[in-house]
Structure 1
Amino acid sequence: MSQATRRESIALPTGADYLREILRAPVYEAAIVSPLQDMPRLSSRLNNHIQLKREDRQPVHSFKVRGAYNMMAQLTDEQKQAGVIAASAGNHAQGVALSGNQLGVEATIVMPRTTPAIKVDAVRSFGGNVVLHGSNFDEAKGRAQELADEHGFTFIPPFDHPAVIAGQGTLGMEMLQQNGHMDYVFVPVGGGGIAAGVSVLIKQLMPQIKVIGVEAEESACLKAAMDKGYPVVLDNVGTFADGVAVKRIGDETFRLCHQYLDDVITVSSDEICAAVKDIFEDTRAISEPSGALSLAGLKQYVETHQLTGKNLVNVLSGANTNFHSLRYVSERAELGEKREGLLAVTIPERTGAFLEFCHVLGGRAVTEFNYRHSDNADANIFVGVRLLNGQEELDAIMVDLQQAGYPVVDLSDDEMAKVHVRYMIGGKPSKPLNEKLYSFEFPEYPGALIKFLNTLGTHWNISLFNYRNHGSDYGRVLCGFELEDKDLLEFSSHLRDLGYQWKDVSKTPSYNFFLAN
């Protein structure tokens, strides 16, 4: 029997079932009816009426309390007496802790040891018992399930349960009551709880409204499932938008999203950063990256489909962010809006060459200029340029430079350039090296660096090392190794033993332009 056939043989809740459960969900014992706020600046810029559903105003600063409370309120007296458990590094943890406090249910939350103290303290402030275990979510979830079996706790999943989905669906009901003239609703997708709940509710009552799911490019588990026809496990997920960093969409959330969503789109980290800035400029609210996901999708969809004069609603799903991560957001927002371009340009190594180069730019504002003497013939420079007309203007600048005799490469979409290389200009080795370059996502916990060096650093010479962290659970490491071809098989084995996410970036343009010999 196929997987699809097995699922069809199970009696699953219908759309009408979900509508009934959403209408009777007692979430307002813990949650509030969040405002639907106009975004006048962005509305004027995009020529549409855009509104923002302010779930950051919830007591836990995210929508997660809706699903957690709805499920926990329906537990039997015996289950409540035994207590509940969840695994989370963020918003779901706080939702379960607050719900437990409201219902008088002891709530234990297993969180990875890498979880920032601000999030751990927030869970404890709501009365949750915190257990720190493992270096990632999967390890924490495994421990939570072990504790549930040992102590009889009820496990509260973050998204893949009908009661959780119905709780999140109350958000859709509020939006219909606050604006019955919506044309499009954009919802973020991580595990699919909010997308499933909102779409099933809206399609039961006003099916003419389009509901669009938005995923981060680095964790597009729903798109992968849509392509295959069933949920699949992603090999890796990016951690920037950590609130939606899910490797596998839920079974029930996938079923509902597949049936009720009108479209699913993906957005880049730079587009998310630009959306965080848009939210701040219109409302003065500071969104977490995943909280701005649906607005990033809205903006992309408007541009792609040339929408005008429509009523568009998106969800600010959470605002639990680390202050230091805003530095990264600020750096990348201009790139996400195509208001800045990054270029690698070769100019002659002689007096007055930079002035001549600036004349070719035609008075455009230079946002960044990195250079270090390399040889007596040519200089490779890293240049940021302010843009008024996006990619069209950047293309015109490149044509002007090429016609003036300057070799130029567009680095605006080169991740290595944006994360590492722009801070390392002038770092070419003084002698030829057989060097391979790798990027790593480096977990923030005591002993992580020692583990890295013990596994790799004692076997091969490290020829380059750059570390960047912007207040998130993971830092970014760029590392060069001296490797002969005969070493590559053994080296790859050690990379697997290391257990961190990694990628060979030896062929990226920015590395070869500025750092390779």
Structure 2
Amino acid sequence: MLGLDDIREARERVDGVARHTPLEHSYSFSDLSGAAVHPKLEVFQRTGSFKIRGASNRIATLTDEEQAAGVVTASAGNHAQGVALAATRADVDSVVVMPEHAPIAKVKATRSYGAEVVLHGEDYDTAQARAHEIEADENRTYVHAFDDPTVMAGQGTIGLEIVEDLPDVETVVVPIGGGGLIAGIATAIKATSPDTRVVGVEAEGASSVAQSLEKGSVQELDGVDTIADGIATRRVGERTFPIIEERVDEVVSVSDPDIAVAITTLLERSKTLIEGAGAVPMAAILAEAFEYREDEVIVPVLCGGNIDLNMLRTVIMRGLVESGRYLHFRTTLPDQPGSLERLVEIIADERANIYAIQHDRTSRDSGMTATEVAIDLETRGEEHVATLLDALEANGYAPEVLV
């Protein structure tokens, strides 16, 4: 099983390729949670993600023959970029298979680092199957995204940095997809700071680890559904799972709305752009998905920031909705002059700001003497939304909240 010596050796190999990323106290998230929150900002790593660590360590162990034949891998995006850059730096040819709907930004970045990109399948698992076909056809070495001891060891270098930079850390919170990141970090943490708790976080729509722990063996999901595409895997790794069982103290899950709120809050309060998979540790803290004490020293590993801009727009809107900062509703008005003005006056009196109004006199959902109005509003929180809706109902309207 993976050991501390493996991680220390990996650190020597990736030194000069991977950066020692910042670990900083966040006053904003400490205030919001009541804990002493120190994010590990792996978002500032080369390629925008921790994956360069494991990829560099694996490629550094290739034989001369393996280097000449090249490498192949499958990835939703971050591992793809890590392999592409690490291979290019080592003068090794690389092919990366990505799901057809992988974020455009990650596809472009992977190509820019020098890899040949093949788009195949609906998710990571189907892309992986195609990558193994290429492995056999072209005699390439497959660089697994997580289920490889050298990859795990490379990711574990993050754990060494955490303990060195913050010796009094009490809890480290780590995302889980296939398990390579948390297997490496947990190994490093438990070997150097045994009393530090390690908490793993999955997305609810990709919770293979929780089911596997419950059954006592690796379980495969029928499918995955989450905005956290970087951890959207159907099953945890065969090699990572025993390490998680032995060295991870607790595994929890967070919903997509929780993740959206975390991404939005990180943008607003810390001016830091984090992708869905990278935001799940902060989502778990804000949603209190696990128990922690007041002033407990917690390190959430914010492991990546490569989010597609179209997805970011959707996530920000969802985050605003979940936090009561945006309201979209519809109602019906008498189809007569002045009706819309009276509705708008009530909204103005409640100090809500109008983004857009859609006025439909032909809707089949309203009577012949009525008109339907849909309004988008900027609001100031959940209490403000409740007060506004109460005011509308008190004045005879029947608002239907749409998002």
TM-score, with normalisation over the residues of structure 2? 0.85
Aligned partner letter, 2:316: S
Q: Distance in 1 between matches of 2:322 and 2:220?
A: 28
Q: 2:298 aligns with which of 292, 312, 323?
A: 312
1:112-151 aligned within 5 A: 112-115=99-102, 118-134=105-121, 136-151=123-138
Deviation for aligned residue 1:177: 0.8
Q: 2-side partners of 1:309 and 1:90: how far apart?
A: 35
SS at match of 1:31: coil
The 3-state SS of whatever aligns with 1:266 is strand
Equivalent residue, structure 2, for 1:164: 151
- Rate the CA distance shift 1:149–1:297 in 2: closer, same or farther, 3 A: same
Aligned match of 1:259 in 234, 246, 250? 246
Deviation at 1:399, TM superposition (A): 5.2
How far apart are residue 306 of structure 1 and its match? 7.3
Query: Is 1:41–2:24 an aligned residue pair?
Result: no
Correspondent of 1:195 among 182, 185, 195: 182
Separation (CA, whole Å) in 2 of partners of 1:321 and 1:352: 45
Work out the CA distance in 1 between the residues paired with 2:48 and 2:137.
32
Q: Please report how far the alpha carbon of residue 351 of structure 1 lies from its aligned counterpart in structure 2 after TM superposition.
A: 5.1
Cα deviation per residue 1:347-376 (whole Å; 9 max; x = unaligned)?
Answer: 555555556556766614155554423324
Residue equivalent to 1:21: 6
Contact 1:366 1:383 in 2 (8 A): no
The answer (yes or no) to whether the contact 2:323–2:381 under 8 Å persists in 1 is: no
What amino acid maps onto 1:78 in structure 2? E
Q: 1:113 to 1:236 in 2, by over 3 A?
A: closer
Secondary structure at 1:108's aligned position in 2? strand
Residue matched to 1:511: none
Other-structure match for 2:360: 372
Q: Secondary structure at the match of 2:173?
A: strand
Tell me whether 1:243 sits opposite 2:230 in the alignment: yes
Asked if the contact 1:272–1:336 (Cα under 8 Å) also holds between the matched residues in 2, the reply is no
Structure 2: tracts of 5 or more residues without a match: none
- Which residue identity does 2:307 align to in structure 1? T
Matched-pair contact (CA < 8 Å) for 1:341–1:386: yes
How far residue 148 of structure 1 moved from its aligned partner, in angstroms, is 1.3
Q: Which moved more, 1:115-124 or 1:232-241?
A: 115-124
Q: What is the CA–CA distance in structure 2 between the aligned matches of 1:149 and 1:58, rounded to whole Å?
A: 32
**Distance 1:49-1:77 versus aligned 2 partners, 3 A rule:** same
Residue 336 (1) aligns with residue 336 (2):
no
> In the alignment, what sits opposite 2:272?
285
Shift of 1:63: 0.4
- Give the unaligned 5+ runs of structure 1: 1-12, 413-517
| Structure-2 residue corresponding to 1:104 | 91
Structure 1 residue 157: Cα displacement: 0.7
What SS does structure 2 have at the residue aligned with 1:38? coil
Correspondence for 1:488: none
Equivalent residue, structure 1, for 2:69: 82
Q: Which amino acid aligns with 1:372?
A: D
Give the equivalent residue in structure 1 for 2:260. Answer: 273
| 2:307 aligned residue | 321
TM-score in terms of structure 1 length: 0.68
Matched letter for residue 325 of structure 1:
M
CA contact (8 A) 1:365 1:385 kept: yes
Change beyond 3 A, Cα 1:410–1:31: same
Q: Is the 8 A contact 2:33 2:285 kept in 1?
A: no
**Residues 96 and 115, structure 2, Cα contact 8 Å, conserved in 1:** yes
Q: Conserved in 1, the CA contact under 8 Å of 2:350 and 2:388?
A: no
What code does the residue aligned with 2:86 have? S
Q: For residue 201 of structure 1, what is the amino acid of its counterpart?
A: A
2:325 and 2:214 map into 1 onto residues whose CA distance is 33
1:178 deviation in Å? 0.9
Give the superposition deviation at 1:24: 1.8
Matched residue count: 395
In 2 relative to 1, CA 386–125 (structure 1 residues): closer, same or farther, beyond 3 Å?
A: closer
Contact in 2 for aligned 1:270/1:335 (Cα 8 Å): no
Give distance in 1, aligned partners of 2:113 and 2:218: 34
Distance 1:258 1:383 in 2: 50
Q: 1:51 to 1:383 in 2, by over 3 A?
A: farther
Asked if the contact 2:56–2:154 (Cα under 8 Å) also holds between the matched residues in 1, the reply is: yes
Cα displacement (A) at 1:248: 1.5
Deviation at residue 197 of structure 1 after TM alignment: 1.7
Equivalent-residue separation in structure 1 for 2:83 and 2:169 (angstroms):
31
Within 1, Cα distance between the matches of 2:206 and 2:250? 17
Residue identity matched to 1:266: S
Q: Is the 1:40–1:282 contact (alpha carbons within 8 Å) kept by the matching residues of 2?
A: no
Q: 1:431 — aligned with what?
A: none
**What is the aligned partner in structure 2 of residue 484 from structure 1?**
none
1:206 paired with 2:193, answer: yes
- 1:409-488 mapped onto 2 (5 Å cutoff): 409-412=400-403
Change (3 A) 1:376 1:210: farther
- Higher mean C-alpha deviation, range 140-149 or range 364-373: 364-373
> Aligned-pair distance for 1:181?
1.9
Q: Identical aligned pairs, as a percentage? A: 34
User: In the superposition, relative to structure 1, how do residues 266 and 379 fare at CA in structure 2: closer, same or farther (>3 Å)?
Assistant: farther
Indicate how the Cα distance of structure 1 residues 402 and 130 shifts in structure 2: closer, same or farther if over 3 A, else same.
closer
Deviation track 1:46-91 (CA, whole Å, cap 9, x = no partner) reads: 3333222121222211101111122222233333333221122411
2:202 corresponds, among 197, 208, 215, to 215
Query: Is this contact kept in 1: 2:70–2:140, CA < 8 A?
Result: yes
DSSP-derived class of the 1:309 partner: coil
Where 2:15 maps in the other structure, the secondary structure is: helix
Q: Supply the distance in 1 between the matched residues of 2:21 and 2:333 (Cα, whole angstroms).
A: 55
**Aligned pair in 2 of structure 1 residues 300, 239: CA closer, same or farther (>3 Å)?**
closer
Task: State the 1:176 CA deviation.
Answer: 0.9
